[in-house]
Every structure is written in C-alpha cells, then in structure tokens.
Homo-oligomer: A and B are copies of this chain.
C-alpha cells in the first residue's frame, strides 16, 4: 500500500531549478542521470540535504497564500527524514516548538520527516497546527474553547484523551501522529513547549479580565511539502504570527472565539445599529490588544501594514530575479482594513508553481473531524 512512482518530469524540473539557482552544485546532467537510475530502481529518490533545504525554501517562496515570503531564504530546515515512528515524530515536533520559539525571537523553521515512498507510507500529523485549543460543546449549545475543533476534540476524547479539570477555553489538544504500522497515536504536549501570551489592551484595563490568551508559535502541521515529485506529508513549519490571524480570524470570526460582540458590549457601543460600525471598532481594539500583548511579552509578531509592504518588497525582488511570484489576492489581502494595505491595489500572477505546500481533503478532514485515519 505505498504511493506511486515519482513523476520523472517533476523530478527533472526541480533538479534543473536547483542547479540553476545554485551554481555551486555544479552541472545538473550527472545528477539527473543518477536520479533517473534511482527512480528506475526504487520508484523514488533521496534528495541531497542541499536539495531538501532549497526545496523547502522554494516551496515557501511559491506558496501563493503566504504574505510572509520576504524571508524565504532564512528558513531553517531540520532534516529528519530518517524519523518515521509516531513517538519519534512527536518528540521532534516538541523540540521544534522550543527551537522555533527561541526565547521569543521566533525562527522560521521546518522539520521534514520521512517521505512517502512506493514501499512505505510516510507518517501523518493530524493536527492543523501543533498547538490547537479544544472546543467543548456545552449543554446549552454554546462552545467552551475553539469551536473549530469541537469535532476533533470529541474524537480525541473517544480515543481516550482526558481534558484537564476544570475544562477551559484554552486547553491544548494532544498531538496525533499516525503511521501505517502504529495507527493514530496521541501525545500530550509538554507544558514547557506551549508558550502563550496573555492578552491585555494598551488602554482598556478590563480587556485582561476577558482571560484571553494565544500560543506564540504557529506551526502548520497538516500540509504536504512536495519537492521534485517527492511528497513529505509530515513537514511542520512555522513563521511568526501576523496579528490579524489571531485578532481578526481566531478571535473575530463568528464560528471561532466570536469576541467582537463581547468586546463591543464592554466598550459600550451601540450594537443595535450596524451603521455605528461597532463590529469594526471592536475588531480594531482586539487586534491592538494582540499586537500590544505579544510585543510586551517579547514574542515576535507582525502587523498587517508592515507585512504588506514587506511583501511588496518581496515581489520586487522576485521580479528582479526574473521569477514569477504566484499570489492569491484573497489570501494576501488582510482580513481587516484591506484597502489600507498596498497589497490590495494590484493584480498578481496566479499560476501555481512547484515545489509547494499542498493540503489534501483527507488531511483537512483529519485536522477538523479527527479522522478517518489515513491508513484504514
């Protein structure tokens, strides 16, 4: 029950790209020959450490949804391709959290575990990010915690996970690593690896009483890294947060923590009249609290204005380098004050490029529904 053979054209295209951008690697032809022979023999091939590191960076550079690509060269790549057992993957994920946090000065980082091969399926991490908060449906229909993960949380409890007592709005879910041999395995996150920031507002003293907090390091863990035809389904990566991801989406969305009506109420706004723009005003204050709290806690974070103009710098550099930069407007334009950011006011190349990160339906289902398992 392995995956199919590596696509030779994709392998060759990647090798040509790697050698073209990295002259120090020498002529590409011998390497292509060797890789083709390796695919003949095994159905796949093993990237050199340099190819792997470049491939991961190029995948970031090519991801049309990411506004943070200016620093793509700085990605730290942890080569963990020999790790393929559930406990090993989990342990290295926890190490990743610590190394990426780096005392608050976050480091963009990726941990690449064993690839899919024709003879052996790679491990899968179920969680959407290494750190995610449980969502508990309450008897009255409301949700304690993150509603996005209600189904996942329920499934984890069926699998034997015991939530902390008393349950809270920020209970860290266990990490689930599945291998074809072991099936899905749960691993609680070590407390010292879960760095969090308590939220307070620079002016509104009552904001701290809401008891909101968020984790410092966003490590996306259910995307597949695809390089030259080889798939790395377990390749968790992180940058640092852009404030709106937390303040506008995680806290602001009606089907997440839904904090806008709560904050508007505390601010004394007229929530009976949409034209008072109470939603907009509360949204801004929530986002100010996020940026302020991360900053005073000494944890890297960026605001959407700064990151937008950095992204335009990135586009210029890519253009000067003669490369296209695939960009998805609807993901790049921030979820608040869109037209106040320079990324709003232009068109982009949209054609997909490889290497890249891709998320398939099965991975999304496991991350949100907590199953079914990848390996029957």
Q: Which residues of A contact B (CB under 8 A)?
A: 243, 248-249, 252-253, 260, 274-277, 279-281, 283-284, 287-288, 291-292, 295, 303, 305-306, 329-330, 333-340, 344-345
How many Å lie between the Cα of A291 and that of B284 in the bound state? Answer: 18
Q: Give Cα A295–Cα B275 distance, bound, in whole angstroms.
A: 9
Q: Given that A305-B274, A306-B274, A330-B330 are contacting pairs, would A340 and B280 also be in contact in the complex, using a CB cutoff of 8 Å?
A: yes
Which residues from B are CB-within-8-Å of A281? 284
- Nearest chain B CB to A348's CB is how many angstroms away? 11
Closest to A302 in B: B275
Question: Which chain B residue lies CB-closest to A284?
Answer: B280
Q: Which residues of B contact A277 (CB under 8 A)?
A: 284, 287-288, 291, 303
Closest residue of chain B to A248 (Cβ to Cβ) is: B339
Q: Tell whether, in the assembled complex, residue A336 and residue B335 are in contact, meaning their CB atoms are under 8 Å apart.
A: no
Is A253 a contact partner of B336 (Cβ separation < 8 A)? no
Query: A253's closest neighbor in chain B, by CB?
Result: B339
Query: How far, in whole Å, are A243 and B243 apart by their CA atoms in the complex?
Result: 26
Residue from the set A275, A295, A333 with the largest chain B CB neighbour count within 10 Å: A275
Complex contacts, A334 vs chain B, CB 8 Å: 338
Among candidates B275, B287, B330, B340, residue contacting A336 with C-beta atoms closer than 8 Å: B340
Residue on B nearest A301 in the bound complex, by CB: B275
14 A-B residue pairs with Cβ-Cβ distance under 8 Å, sorted by A, are A249-B339, A252-B340, A260-B340, A274-B305, A275-B291, A275-B295, A280-B336, A329-B330, A330-B330, A333-B338, A334-B338, A335-B338, A336-B337, A336-B338
Task: For A276, give its contact among B248, B252, B274, B288 (CB under 8 Å).
Answer: B288
Contacts of A284 in B (CB 8 A): 277, 280-281, 284
Given A275-B303, A279-B337, A281-B284, 16 further pairs, Cβ under 8 A: A243-B275, A248-B339, A249-B339, A253-B339, A260-B340, A275-B288, A275-B292, A277-B284, A279-B305, A280-B287, A283-B337, A330-B330, A335-B338, A336-B336, A336-B339, A336-B340
Q: Beyond A303-B275, A329-B330, A330-B330, is A337–B280 a contact (Cβ under 8 Å)?
A: yes
User: Which 10 A-B pairs rank lowest in CB-CB distance, beginning with the nearest?
Assistant: A335-B339, A274-B305, A275-B291, A280-B337, A275-B303, A280-B284, A279-B340, A335-B338, A274-B306, A274-B303
- Interchain CA distance A256-B294 in the complex, whole Å: 34
